[in-house]
Amino acid sequence: SPYSRSTSRTGSVQKVAPLLNKAQLPQGVSAVRPHLEEIDNVPLQVGLFTDSTPGATKEMIAIMQEYGEFVLAVGSSLNVANGSIFGQANVSICVEPLRDDCQATKTEKVEPRVRAVALATDCMKIGANFVLQHQQLPLLSELITACRHRLYSLRIALQFLLLLSGSLSLLVALSAALYLPIVFKPDQMLLFVLISFPLIATSPLLGSFLPRKKFVKIAGKNQEHVNRKEVVGALWSFCIQFLPMILFTLALYFFLLVRHVDFECEFSDLVCSVGYLHDESESNGTLTAHLKLNTEQVRHLVAFQFLCFTIVHSLSWASPLFPVYQSRVFLRPLWLLTVMFLLFLQLIFSTISLDANLLNLITTPQLFGLVVWSICILLVNEVRKLTQRRLFMREQRRRKLAFDTKLGMNSPY
C-alpha cells in the first residue's frame, strides 16, 4: 500500500505519508468537471472509462469535446443506446456483430425475429460514419495510422502551396518596387495560381497512404491558436528555400531585359518607354530594330524557368522527411504525369501568346543557368531536410511526453 509498510523483523506496521505524486481519477461523471477545474486534466489524458451508463458516456464525451478533444466512438450495431453516442462523437464507427459458425452456414429460412435484428442493425449504421465487420476491427489501428499520415501530408501540401503563392507575390512586388516592367502579366499569374501551383502542391499527396514502417506519427492535441513555432519554421523555410529562388529569378529577368530590351527614360518625370515590339518597319532603324527578344518573350522565358524551379522544389516537398534518393519521387507515375502536363501547358500557353515556339528562344547560357540553379535548389532542400527531420523527431518525443499532470510523471514513457 502507498500509505503503510510492514517490517520483517518486528512485524510492526509503520505509517508513512501518502505519495504526493500519485495520479488521482474522479469517480462518477459528476466529479469530472470539478476535477478538471480544480486539480488537473488527468481525465482528458485517459481514453478509457468503464462501468458507465450510455447517458454518462454521452456526457463524458461532451465534456471531452468542451475541452477541445476529438472523440472517436466505436460501438456495436446491436446496441440501440449507441445511436445517441454515435451522434455525440466527432467520428463514429459501427461494428457489425460476429456470427458463429452455425449461423454463418445456416441455409434454412430466416426467422422474422432474425430479420428484425438485421433491420435494426442497418438502421444503426445510418448514424455512424463508418461501418466495419467484426473481423476488420484489428485493422482500426492501421486506419488511424494512415489517417495521421494523410493529415500530415495534407498539412505539408497546404504549406507548400502557401509558400509558392507567397513567392509569386513577392516576386511581382519586387519587380514593381525596382521600377521594372511587371515580371508576369495577369493571365500568366492566373495560370500559376489556379492550375500550376495547386497541382504542384499535391506532390506530398501522391505517395502511399501508409507511412514507412517503424515511423509512426503521434497526433498532437487540438489547439485553438496557431503554434508560434510552426509559424517561425515556415518563415525560416521560406527564407532559406524560396527567397534565393525569387532573387535569382528577379536577377535573370533584369539581365534579360538589359541584354535584349532597350529603354528610353526621362529622369525628370521618371517615365520609361520599353521596346515591346520586334518590328523593323515600325522602328525605322532605331530602338527595337536590333532587339533579339521583346519584353513579352522575356516574361515567358522567366515564367518557364520559374515553373521549372517550383517543380524541383516539389521533388523535396513530396517527401519532406526522407532524401530524394530514398523516396524516389521522380519514379512516381502520378508525379511524372503532373510535371509533364504542367510543362506542356506552359509551352502551349506561351506559344499561343507569342505566336512562336518558346523552346527556340532558350539559349545555351539560359539552359546552363537553369540546370545549375536547379541543382542548387535541390541541394539546399536536402540539407534543410536534415534539420527538419531532427526537429520532427524532437516534436514526436515532446508529444509523447505531453502529459503536464501527475499521470504523465508516472507514465512509462
Q: What is the pTM of this model?
A: 0.74
pLDDT of residue 269: 46
- What residues does each domain of the chain span? 22-140, 151-409
CA dist 252 and 46 (Å) reads 58
Tell me the pLDDT tens digit for each residue of 67-98: 777 888 888 888 888 888 888 888 888 888 77
Task: Tell whether domain 151-409 is in CATH 1.20.1110.10.
Answer: yes
CA dist 29 and 52 (Å) reads 9
pLDDT of residue 172: 94
Give pLDDT < 50 ranges for the chain: 1-10, 107, 265-271, 273, 276-291, 404-413
pLDDT of residue 210: 66
pLDDT of residue 74: 87
Q: What is the amino acid identity at position 362?
A: I
pLDDT of residue 61: 86
- The closest alpha carbon to 165, from 6, 313, 358, belongs to 313
pLDDT of residue 192: 95
Tell me the pLDDT tens digit for each residue of 233-260: 888 889 999 999 999 999 999 998 888 7
pLDDT of residue 193: 95
Longest dimension (CA), the chain: 119
pLDDT of residue 278: 45
- The closest alpha carbon to 128, from 180, 78, 178, 82, belongs to 82
pLDDT of residue 15: 54
Name the grid cell of 116: 428484425
